[in-house]
Each structure stands twice: as C-alpha cells, then as structure tokens.
Homo-oligomer: A and B are copies of this chain.
Amino acid sequence: MTYFTEAASAETVNARMGPDTAPRLAEVMASLVRHLHAFAKDVQLTQGEWETAIAFLTRTGQICSGERQEFILLSDVLGFSMLVDAINNRRPAGATENTVFGPFHVADAPIRAMGANISLDGKGESCLFEGRVLGIDGAPIEGATVDVWSDNADGFYDVQQPGIQPKWNNRGRFITGADGRYSFRGIRPVSYPIPDDGPVGQMLAQLGRHPYRPAHMHYLVTAPGFQKLVTHTFVGGDTYLTSDAVFGVKDSLVAPYEPGAPGDTLWRSPFDFVLVRE
C-alpha cells in the first residue's frame, strides 16, 4: 500500500523509512508511530483536540530556556521519566532502588568531612543523616562517594536562589572509609511544588492534580566497580508521599525520621545504600 489509508495508517508511514535507517532508530520510530496512531484511533481524536495538542507542545517548547526544561517536566508528570528510569535500572532484590535524578544536581559539590553540616543558611529543622554503603553481600564499600543535595527550609534549592542562599547550601560529597559509613548533618527537607506557572502546571490543574513533591533528600552514590545509584530518600509521613507529582516515590525509599540525640540534631534519619557490582 503506497497511499495513505486510515486502516493502514501506521504501516504506510513506517514503510516509508529508507533501507539505510539505523536499525535501532527504525525500531524506535516504528513503535512510536504505531502507538501514536493507535492512540488517535482509540480516542477518535478530533481536529480541535489535535490543534490543542499542537498549541500545548508549542508553548511547552517555547518556555524552555537555559534554566527551565518544560519537556522534562512534562515527561516527569506523565510518569514517563520514572518509567525510563525503571527500565534502565532494574536491580536484584536487596539493592537500593533508583529514582529520578531531577534537575537540581550540581557536579563537583564540596567534599566535606564526615558528619559536617551542609545547611549553610541556618534555616530549618536540623537532622543527622547516617548509614552505610554496602554491597549486596552486606560488605561495607570503602571509597564510595555519597553526593547529597536537598532544598532548604523554604523549599528552594540553592541554584534556584542565587544571591539569596549561600553557594553550596544543602549540598556536599562524603567519601566512605573502610567501615562504609557516611554521616552528615543538614535539615529535614520540605515538600515543594514543581514549576507550575507554565503549560505543564496548567495541565496538572486541568487533571485535578497538585504540583507538589514530597520532601526528599537526593543521593548520587558511586563507587569503583559498582553501578551508579541515583535515588532519593523520602521523609516518612509526608503529606504528599502517596501523590508525588513526578511519581518518584518507592516504598523502599521512604526513610524513618526519628528524634535526634539530645544536644545534637532535632531529627535523625538512618538509611543504608546497597550497591550492585558492575
């Protein structure tokens, strides 16, 4: 079939790909076309809805800038980012699960002494974060880098408030010793909304969804010979734990927040990270 027909629409489009198309690109595009066409057929998409979609995608692209990535946000709120993360980070039982990286990581954060305080603005409820970096076999991993970042007590990352927050506020890297232990002081993170003043925020409102993420501490844990772990720990009991706007929460990543030691921090949040060998 050379000419377009409604019945064979996807097949007609896919048959047009040239013989020298990279095999993986051909595979991905053919599946995308099949699913996009099946979607339009399933819902019998109207011309007006198509126009709405074109306008939405256009606004989404146009609001993107060096500081804002609305298409990633769109992928996030549709659970697509978490799905891709899941597909690419399947791990054996016992290993710490991945979750989305998020847009607020900054490379080369200061390497700090174990136990140091990463909260530089003096705001928020103090918390001691501690635990071990282990292999699946339970053996401590020496020389693991625990790279951490969180929002401040107002719900903003330092990079969102340059000139207001101290540089590297609520960020740091910690290198484990032979015991695999890490510890640092910071604040109990707070929940915050994803940017909701653009097309994605408007979409969430139309879907009756709030834009909040439950409070979480970000971790990027790396060690020679082990797979990279990108994850968060979530604050147990957070209001938005079961309705994370980007679907990042996994049961195994909800961390306890216990009262801290007298004279030290208000809270203590223990969590062990279990890495998988490469």
Contacts and interface: CB of A to CB of B under 8 A. Distances in A.
13 contacts: A4-B86, A4-B247, A9-B82, A13-B78, A18-B209, A20-B208, A26-B207, A29-B207, A32-B78, A35-B38, A40-B87, A54-B72, A62-B64
A242 interface: yes
A55 to B, nearest CB: 9
Interface string A52-70: 0010011111101000010
A109 interface: no
A240 to B, nearest CB: 11
A164 interface: no
A3 B61 contact: no
A84 B16 contact: no
Sorting the interface of chain A by its residue count into under 10, 10 to 19, 20 to 34 or 35 or more gives 35 or more
Contact of A9 (B17, B26, B41, B83): B83
B3 A251 contact: yes
A36 B47 CA distance: 20
A21 B248 CA distance: 23
B4 A80 contact: no
Interface residues of A, dominant DSSP: helix
Interface of A: 2-6, 9-10, 12-13, 16-22, 25-29, 31-33, 35-47, 49-50, 54, 57-62, 64, 69, 71-72, 75, 78-88, 90, 206-209, 242-243, 247-251
B57 A57 contact: yes
Nearest to A10: B79
